């Protein structure tokens, strides 16, 4: 088993970095382009040089042919001394050798050129300009083209030779230089590709290190130092925002669990105390028994309400209900009807303007219902009706929902804290409830691009509500 594990470790493919891949790809593409361009350029240059050399030799031979046809020339006219026929064969790398009437060499070239039977036949030919051509004739270490042009009437011939081994040496040197230049270009491309890849992938390396750090430490509150306006910069900013959202979500979950544990501890402790008394229920007087059972029922209901509100709050943070076009006036009417049946209180609804918006109906109905239940709980005396006001647009694209009561009102110090989780004002701690209802209202409002608000009502009571609109996004707490 240990050997198998080692074999699997050895067979694990090695990871190739993006930087290495980029450098190799850049160098490979550059090498391919350089090779193709170098080969094409060399072939074109070699072809031009060879064609040019061939055209020069052909032109020299043609001039000699024309001259011997026009004038009656003898071998001495082409001797190496300064004579008229010698001007015809002076191009660079052109050698001249003169043959006599029987094909013998009467003026050696430099170097001496070989004489074949075809050359001797041309020397004895009757027609002037008759030519015998030879290609790739080796003289010593060099290669020549040779053309033997007859002077006519058996007077001899002149051999014109062009050395093209120098041309091939030149082309070979050009080829070597081209290969060296191609190698230099490939090396330079590799170095430039490495520098460019390092510059491009540097921010990706930072992102990778940040992601690996998060995976290793599980710390989401790190800053990702990525700049730029390109795709990498956008990725870095998106990654940074994602980490921020995850950190905030983790913090919200942690606070929710801590607050829930704190709030659940009190009713659970009371339940344990009362349950322990049940073991002695036969010893208790009837009135105490009834009071104990009533307390158990009340604590069970409060615990149930607390759990339900915790579930609602958690669902509000990750509600997957699809958004749709809703009318908040219709939602408020449904909530008012249900509250009338449950509490027997008078609920008045006022609606004005366009009260439609894009939102999640279930979440919005939960928020309005919490506001009405909160008003009914604090306005137990029922000195006046509970009023629901839905108006829109309070600002362009927004709808405002208010619930007004004539209860004891809210102290100035509590106005900015009533939407905190589990917060309960001093004069409300004796009343049933968990302190989560208005927190759910805040979550719903912020999820719909709005904000909650609360202020004291003129003449007594409170006005608590929220705004929605501007898209399903986050918002802040509105001060009124």
CB atoms < 10 A from the CB of 296, how many? Answer: 16
Task: Give the CA diameter of the chain.
Answer: 162
Return the SS3 of 71. coil
**How far is it, in rounded angstroms, from Cα 318 to Cα 238?**
20
Angle ∠(410,416,420) on CA atoms, nearest 5: 100
Q: Which helix (H) or strand (E) holds 398?
A: strand 398-405
Return the SS3 of 24. helix
Paired strand residues for 453: 465
281-283-288-294 Cα dihedral, nearest 10 degrees: 10
Residue for token pair 């350029």 = 41
Please name which of 61, 115, 111, 69 lies closest in space to residue 91, comparing C-alpha atoms: 61
pLDDT value of position 403: 92
Please name which of 449, 443, 444, 452 lies closest in space to residue 410, comparing C-alpha atoms: 452
Reported as a single tens digit per residue, the pLDDT across 146-199 is 888 888 888 888 888 887 666 666 777 777 887 888 888 888 877 887 887 777
The shares of helix, strand and coil residues in the chain, as percent rounded to the nearest 5, are 55, 15, 30
pLDDT value of position 19: 67
Phi and psi angles of residue 315, each rounded to the nearest 5 degrees, phi first: -65, -35
pTM (2 d.p.): 0.46
pLDDT value of position 16: 58
**How far is it, in rounded angstroms, from Cα 325 to Cα 166?**
89
- DSSP per-residue codes, 424-445: --GGGTTSS--S-HHHHHHHHH
Q: Which two tokens stand for residue 470?
A: 């501007």
Paired strand residues for 357: 326
Please name which of 351, 327, 342, 353 lies closest in space to residue 377, comparing C-alpha atoms: 342
Q: Which helix (H) or strand (E) holds 353?
A: strand 347-353
Question: What is the C-alpha radius of gyration for the chain, rounded to an integer number of angstroms?
Answer: 52
- DSSP per-residue codes, 78-102: GSSSS-GGGGGG-STTEEEEEE-TT
Tell me if 371 sits within 8 A of 465, measured CB to CB.
Answer: yes
Kindly report whether the peptide bond that precedes residue 393 is cis, defined as omega within 30 degrees of 0. yes
CB atoms < 10 A from the CB of 169, how many? Answer: 11
Phi and psi angles of residue 93, each rounded to the nearest 5 degrees, phi first: 60, 30
pLDDT value of position 322: 81
Indicate the DSSP class of residue 152. S
Tell me if 226 sits within 8 A of 240, measured CB to CB.
Answer: yes
- DSSP E strand stretches across 48-206: 94-99, 105-107, 131-139, 142-150, 157-163
pLDDT tens string, the chain, 480 residues long: the values are: 445 444 444 455 555 566 677 777 777 887 788 788 878 877 887 777 777 777 877 888 888 888 878 877 788 777 765 444 445 545 556 778 888 888 888 888 778 888 888 888 888 888 888 888 888 788 777 778 888 888 888 888 888 888 766 666 677 777 788 788 888 888 887 788 788 777 777 777 777 777 777 777 777 766 676 676 777 777 777 877 787 778 777 777 777 676 666 556 666 777 777 777 777 777 778 877 777 777 777 777 767 766 766 676 566 554 566 888 899 999 999 988 888 877 778 889 999 988 988 888 888 888 898 888 888 877 766 667 889 999 987 676 689 999 998 877 777 766 777 777 666 554 544 444 456 778 788 888 888 888 899 888 887 888 999 999 866 554 444 433
pLDDT value of position 388: 93
């Amino acid at each position: 088993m240990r050997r198998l594990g080692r074999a699997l470790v050895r067979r694990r493919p090695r990871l190739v970095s993006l930087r290495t891949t980029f450098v190799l790809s850049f160098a490979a593409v550059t090498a391919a382009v350089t090779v193709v361009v170098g080969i094409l350029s060399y072939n074109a240059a070699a072809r031009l040089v060879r064609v040019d050399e061939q055209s020069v030799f052909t032109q020299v031979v043609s001039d000699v042919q024309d001259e011997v046809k026009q004038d009656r020339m003898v071998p001495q006219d082409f001797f190496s001394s300064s004579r008229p026929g010698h001007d015809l064969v002076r191009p660079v790398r052109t050698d001249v050798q003169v043959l006599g009437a029987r094909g013998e060499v009467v003026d050696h070239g430099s170097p001496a050129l070989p004489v074949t039977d075809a050359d001797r036949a041309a020397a004895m030919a009757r027609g002037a300009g008759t030519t015998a051509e030879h290609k790739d004739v080796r003289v010593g270490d060099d290669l020549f083209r040779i053309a033997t042009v007859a002077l006519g009437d058996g007077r001899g011939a002149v051999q014109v030779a062009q050395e093209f081994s120098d041309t091939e040496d030149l082309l070979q040197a050009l080829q070597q230089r081209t290969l060296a230049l191609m190698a230099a270009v490939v090396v330079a491309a590799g170095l430039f590709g490495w520098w460019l890849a390092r510059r491009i992938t540097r921010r990706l390396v930072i992102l990778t290190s940040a992601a690996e750090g998060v995976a290793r430490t599980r710390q989401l509150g790190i800053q990702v130092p990525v700049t730029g306006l390109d795709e990498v910069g956008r990725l870095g900013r998106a990654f940074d925002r994602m980490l921020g959202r995850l950190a905030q979500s983790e913090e919200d979950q942690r606070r929710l669990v801590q607050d829930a544990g704190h709030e659940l501890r009190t009713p659970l402790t009371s339940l344990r105390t009362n349950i322990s008394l049940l073991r002695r229920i036969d010893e208790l007087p009837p009135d105490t028994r009834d009071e104990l059972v009533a307390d158990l029922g009340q604590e069970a209901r409060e615990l149930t309400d607390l759990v339900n509100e915790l579930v609602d709050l958690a669902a509000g943070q990750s509600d997957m209900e699809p958004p749709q076009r809703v009318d908040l006036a219709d939602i408020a009417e449904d909530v008012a009807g249900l509250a009338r049946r449950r509490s027997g209180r008078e609920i008045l609804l006022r609606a004005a303007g366009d009260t439609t918006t894009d939102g999640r109906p279930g979440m919005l109905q939960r928020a309005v219902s919490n506001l009405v239940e909160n008003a009914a709980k604090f306005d137990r005396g029922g000195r006046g009706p509970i009023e629901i006001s839905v108006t829109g647009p309070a600002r362009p694209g927004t709808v405002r929902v208010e619930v007004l009561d004539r209860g004891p009102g809210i102290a100035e110090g509590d106005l900015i804290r009533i939407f905190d989780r589990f917060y309960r004002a001093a004069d409300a701690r004796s009343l049933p409830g968990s302190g989560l209802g208005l927190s759910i209202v805040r979550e719903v409002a912020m999820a719909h691009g709005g904000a909650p608000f609360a202020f004291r009502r003129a003449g007594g009571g409170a006005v608590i509500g929220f705004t929605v609109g501007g898209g399903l996004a986050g918002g802040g707490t509105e001060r009124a």
